[in-house]
Amino acid sequence: MGVDRQVHIKDRLLGRGLAPLVQTMYDQALPEGKDELDQLVRRIGSLNAMGCDLIRFSYPDNSQKEAFAYLCSKSPIPVVADIHFDYQLALQAIDAGAHKIRINPGNIGARWKVDEVLAAAKDHNIAIRIGLNSGSLPKGSDPPAILMSNTALTYLNWFEQAGFTNTVVSLKASDEDLTIEANRRFAAQSGYPVHLGVTEAGSVVSSIVRSTWALGQLLSEGIGSTLRISITGPIETEVQAAVELLRTLGLRRRGIRIVSCPRCGRASFDSQGFLASVEQELLGIDKDLTVAIMGCQVNGPGEAKSADIAITGIGNAIFLYQGGALVRKVGLDEARDVFLEAVRNA
């Protein structure tokens, strides 16, 4: 188990030394109608444009099989099925076309049931994530971090005995320090790819702060092949936060880096409102650019010199900069379109 291993999930490859991938989890039951499913496929496409590489869906019962199969065939990114308790649901999800499944072998039941899931996954050439949370571990007297790591190693041994190695492991807790310690212990003993996350981390601010603290340290140490920043909020925000963390750590280059001022009493241009009007479109542009959105003449010109594209305003007069040079003055009513056009054409 100490040998570094690479894992394939459809057309994606995970492993140490490879760029970490961003994951999110759909937060509703699957729709049934084709129009609604196609709308969901388009949403997945938008998430992909923002930087999402994998998407996971709950698979609570077989009533979702037809809709899940449709998504697996249409999604632009690999689809993961989240399975609990019933090994037959894992077999059904695999048969429906899942590119990866997530199980906790401890709640699947008898070992022969786990072996059946492994055999099906091997036959269909898909990956499995062993997902362990601190709240759903087997009983033991060891400290939680040791119990989490040792349990994962035990399950991996089961998998290897069955000849299955296309495996990812996650060790998650709502306590960020426990998450850090458990993943460090596991990574020191195993070369399998690790999926990172602080589970049940809370609302936007608390989850991003806590996840950045824990995941940032682990990623900086070379631990982590995929990540999810779990937020009680929109899944788009999860993707945005994870991509920004990777960019900040220098682990991802593509995508728009946004610099914007927090506003103050000097501002005569609504930089906050302007950012809100363009942010989603910016996040879907696959270019390695820094853009600045500034609210006044104090810091605006200075930040503009450091950005590829920048905009700042004084009242209704809006100034567009490219490569640090002032290139255009426009009215407030046309500023948004002019700015986005400049970014797309840069």
User: 311 and 274 in contact (C-beta within 8 Å)?
Assistant: yes
Give just the sign of the alpha carbon dihedral 73, 78, 79, 81: positive
Beta bridge partners of 57: 81
**pLDDT level of residue 100 (50, 70, 90 thresholds):** very high
Tell me, yes or no, if the pTM score tops 0.85.
yes
Q: What is the average per-residue pLDDT within 236-257? A: 91
At residue 296 the predicted structure's pLDDT band, cuts being 50, 70 and 90, is low
For the chain, which residues make up each domain, given as ranges? 7-248, 256-345
**Tens of pLDDT along 188-198?**
999 999 999 99
pLDDT of residue 300: 62
Q: What is the CA radius of gyration of the chain?
A: 23
Could you tell me which CATH number the domain at 256-345 has? 3.30.413.10
Say how far apart CA 136 and CA 146 lie, in whole Å. 14
3-state class (DSSP) for residue 85: coil
Residue range 43-90, pLDDT digits in tens = 999 999 999 999 999 998 888 899 999 999 999 999 999 998 899 999
Element (H, E) at 337: helix 332-345
Q: Which helix (H) or strand (E) holds 331?
A: strand 325-331
Confidence of residue 3 (pLDDT cuts 50, 70, 90): confident
Instruction: Give me the torsion for CA of 325, 331, 334, 339, rounded to 10°.
Output: 20
Provide mean pLDDT across the span 92-119.
94
* Residues shown for the chain: 346
Q: What is the pLDDT of residue 14?
A: 95
124 pLDDT above the threshold of 90:
yes
Report the pLDDT value the prediction gives residue 32, as an integer from 0 to 100: 86
pLDDT of residue 269: 79
**Nearest one of 19, 76, 83 to 45, comparing CA atoms:** 76
Q: Does domain 7-248 have CATH number 3.30.750.24?
A: no
- Interval 289-301 mean pLDDT: 77
Predicted pLDDT at 284: 87
Q: Which has more confidence, 302 or 99?
A: 99
Percent of the chain clearing pLDDT 90 (strictly above): 67
pLDDT on residue 297: 65
**How far apart, in whole angstroms, are the C-alpha atoms of residue 163 and residue 22?**
28
Asked if residues 259 and 303 have their Cβ atoms less than 8 Å apart, the reply is yes
Give the per-residue pLDDT at 271: 83
Indicate the average pLDDT of the chain. Answer: 91
pLDDT grade for 299, boundaries at 50, 70 and 90: low
State how far the Cα of 215 lies from the Cα of 310, in Å rounded to an integer. Answer: 31
Whether the pLDDT of residue 35 is over 90: the answer is yes
Q: What digits encode the pLDDT tens for the residues 225-246?
A: 999 999 998 999 999 999 999 9
Question: Which secondary structure element, helix H or strand E, spans residue 67, and what is its range?
Answer: helix 65-74
